Amino acid sequence: MTMQLDARPVGARRSNGAVYYRKPNGWIDWGGYDDAIKHFTDRGFQAMTKYGRISALLKDAEGKDYPDPASVWGPILRHPEGPAEFPIDQIITLRWYRDEDNPVPGTRFPQLRGVKVTEYPCPQCKRAPFISATDADGQSVIDADGVTGLGNHLHIVHGWDRLSLTSYGERSGIDFNSIGTATKVRELGFDDEPEPPQQSVAPEFEVTTGTETGVASACECGWEPREDSKNKQASMQTHKNQHCPLREGA
């Protein structure tokens, strides 16, 4: 995942390079330097010139500039002091704790030690999971709640009503009526001991998997696949498409 680069008033051209800036909210972004620094500093941005200049843009087939994540974030994430510069909420919001979403896989963020990240995947689509995150004292470290996000998504996007949410929550251990008491679907913990190298996340991560990600154990109407079914996901999809009384047009 890359940031929404709304800070650049003009393209960060290769001719003058770009630098990192700390925004007033603490997040790190990047933008032009020579011609643009006054624009940024007037808005409260702080230039982080210790990490040098970056050539952040590539050319597509039509000659248009676009940001290359590895080029944009590589200099600071590979710097010995760089990862520690990022605020916790930025790391988690951009899902950089996951190697598959990090521009520089394997990056370690020391500020994540003691943080618990809980992911709540949607049982009906493959969008990115909703996230909750707390520190060692149980206090939220991001301005978002995974249970609330998942509940709103299921209601607005997939048309689930309160009964469907309650039924699914009871089966999956998510209490949509009491935020923060849900049984965790996927929890990642950060501690001081490195994880084995075969882990797909950074070595500080400890991964605990609960229910099967992205697959509901029962339909919202209450129907469940037979225990001896060879492919419960396929049975579930067939039921939803052809037999579920709650399906559209039923």
Q: Quick one: pLDDT band at residue 37, thresholds 50, 70, 90?
A: confident
- For the chain, give the longest Cα–Cα distance: 67
**Which is higher by pLDDT, 96 or 65?**
96
Sheet holding 186-190, edge to edge: 130-134, 116-120, 186-190, 205-209
pLDDT above 90 for 176:
no
Q: Is the pTM of this model over 0.85?
A: no
Q: Lowest-confidence range among 3-12, 49-58, 110-119, 150-159?
A: 3-12
**Other CB atoms closer than 10 Å to residue 208's CB: what's the count?**
11
Q: Quick one: DSSP state of residue 184?
A: P
Render pLDDT for 85-115 as a digit per residue (tens, 0 to 9): 999 999 999 999 999 999 999 999 999 999 9
Query: Are 130 and 100 a contacting pair, CB within 8 Å?
Result: no
Range among 101-105, 166-170, 190-194, 205-209 with highest mean pLDDT value: 101-105
Angle between helices 162-172 and 146-156 (to 10 degrees): 140
Continuous segment of H or E residues that includes residue 40? helix 37-42
